[in-house]
Structure 1
């Protein structure tokens, strides 16, 4: 198969990547990810035992169950932000409150790591707003206009939005042929056929 063959234009990885990008774009993805990641160190550190040579270091607190509950709730809120976008404001406020409570309950909020991740995730959830869907039948902004009825290309160059481009008029040919676009605002009265 050559490079010009249209049969395999996109691979499986590209299709999956584009589907994931569309899914991610319709929800507060980063808010959910930060909140979910913030819950992991808050739940993990009170139960972790680190080995330094022959010495074991345990960071267990008396509120280990509280840390586990806060961590699990933050993971749940992160997933809620992904799959129930309508509850993003509630989930964001709850994530911020749980992050603040974790400072007292869970080893300074999972050694500040979980606290900061959960705070950022909650703030992102509160600030996220769904985008406006494109109106049906709307033409993308950066495409040139469609060709004229007789198949001739639309006059160009195409001005950038906000700039004043040259104006064109249709000039009928003397032999009765198709109309040709003529630039009407050339200096010195000279007209250029488009």
Structure 2
């Protein structure tokens, strides 16, 4: 049994179990990148088709590029969801999300009034920055050795318990008159 594995009692509430499973699922993929990318596509696709009613007055924000806005918004939502289920396309999805966010500025009401633009840009950047974690494998030599380090490591590195190196036997911790100075010369004062 892994000593770092969470211990769960048999009588855990189902919400706790669902929360732990979701947290494990979320940690193995670029979750926040996909969420921000998908959320950025919503205002980009919505605002060109929305209208605001104030009493008898209707304010329409429709533009001539409504179809372009819809395509950009749906592509961003699709890229966001694809990042959750296909981690291998994270670099492509990140670059595509950033490019679509930049194209949405002139096409779709300033990128969904900058809201969709900023979310998509952040999601694309997070997708490019995310890297999958690698499980740490335990070294069989370290597991059997109670001291922690082998004799070969002791010869190669001599340091204090915090890992800070100190001078070896062949090094002098102080300057002498034969020590070369930073300017390449020797100390002429004697």
Instruction: Tell me, yes or no, whether TM beats 0.5.
Output: yes
Q: Which of 129, 132, 153 lines up with 1:130 in the alignment?
A: 132
Match of 2:22 among 8, 20, 23: 20
CA RMSD of aligned residues (A): 1.8
Counterpart residue number, 2:90: 88
Return 5+ residue gaps in structure 2 as ranges: 1-8, 141-145, 147-160, 164-190
Please list every run of at least 4 consecutive aligned residues from structure 1 whose deviation after the TM superposition is greater than 4 angstroms.
none
Give the equivalent residue in structure 2 for 1:162. Answer: 162
Deviations 1:35-84 (A, max 9, x none): 00000000000000111121100000000000000000000000111100
After TM superposition, give the deviation of residue 137 of structure 1 in Å: 8.2
Please show how residues 5-154 of structure 1 align to structure 2 within 5 Å: 7-8=10-11, 10-135=12-137
> Greater strand share, 1 or 2?
1
* 129-138 or 79-88: bigger deviation: 129-138
* Structure 1 position 162, deviation (Å): 3.4
TM-score normalised to the size of structure 1? 0.67
- 1:62 is paired with a residue whose SS is coil
Shift, 1:89, TM fit = 0.1
Distance 1:66 1:119 in 2: 18
Which residue in the other structure is 2:187 paired with?
Answer: none
Q: Aligned in 2, Cα 1:7/1:109: closer, same or farther, shift over 3 Å?
A: closer
Q: CA deviation at 1:132?
A: 1.3
CA deviation after TM superposition for structure 1 residue 28, in Å? 0.5
Q: Cα deviations across residues 9-32 of structure 1 (Å, max 9, x unaligned)? A: x11001100000000000000000
Unaligned stretches of 5+ in structure 1? Answer: 1-5, 139-144, 146-160, 164-194
| Pair 1:86–1:7, CA change in 2 (3 A) | closer
* Structure 2: distance between partners of 1:11 and 1:134: 31
